[in-house]
Chain A
Amino acid sequence: GEDVEQSLFLSVREGDSSVINCTYTDSSSTYLYWYKQEPGAGLQLLTYIFSNMDMKQDQRLTVLLNKKDKHLSLRIADTQTGDSAIYFCAERPGGYNKLIFGAGTRLAVHP
């Protein structure tokens, strides 16, 4: 089946690291994604990871993939107030460009 789960809320202090977790179900997923949605806006791709990778780092972002447990995480180092948004995990089951999204994790950054 196709299902992506994430915790709904995360609150962190400015300057700390944020870790957002996600689990997915489709083992055929070739790519996994993190999208960011700011208030009143559409989703924007933050980063993605290919299923044969364990880790991907892109500036303040680190993606970890545990394919055995079907677990994906996004770490944001030195979290800033501008990082406050909803973060969506998504899997791409084998085949079409159909993405299955999680419910989104709302990240709140406070001083």
Chain B
Amino acid sequence: DTAVSQTPKYLVTQMGNDKSIKCEQNLGHDTMYWYKQDSKKFLKIMFSYNNKELIINETVPNRFSPKSPDKAHLNLHINSLELGDSAVYFCASSQRRESVTGELFFGEGSRLTVL
């Protein structure tokens, strides 16, 4: 069973389109995240939700809107895609935000290519 699963794994689309990436975790974790990894492998946090509540929102354009229908799911919707949005987007989860080690469990990533 995959602990953190994301779909789709690959996404190729045109500039200006709107797209979504879905994430689900079956670990019973309370906290979920979206990270963006650019072509140089820099990994930056975008959002974090704890039990469906947004707790971290880094300086991400408003075109990016996360949605958490329940604590096992965190989806990412992107409006008006731009070339610079091309990256690999990783979903991750962890136990309660006060968890001792803070270990993150990552999905396999969704590679978004904007043409």
Contact = CB atoms under 8 A, between A and B. Distances in A.
Interface stretch (A16-24, A35-43, A56-64, A72-80): A35-43
A45 B109 contact: no
A96 B107 CA distance: 20
Bin chain B's interface residue count.
20 to 34
Nearest to B106: A42
Contacts of A92: 102
A40 B40 CA distance: 14
A98 B56 contact: yes
Interface in B24-61: 31, 35, 40-45, 48, 55-56
Contacts of A43: 43, 90, 92, 104, 106
A99 B31 CA distance: 13
20 contacts: A31-B101, A33-B103, A35-B104, A37-B41, A40-B108, A42-B4, A42-B90, A42-B109, A43-B104, A43-B106, A45-B104, A48-B103, A96-B48, A96-B55, A97-B48, A98-B48, A101-B43, A101-B44, A104-B41, A106-B41
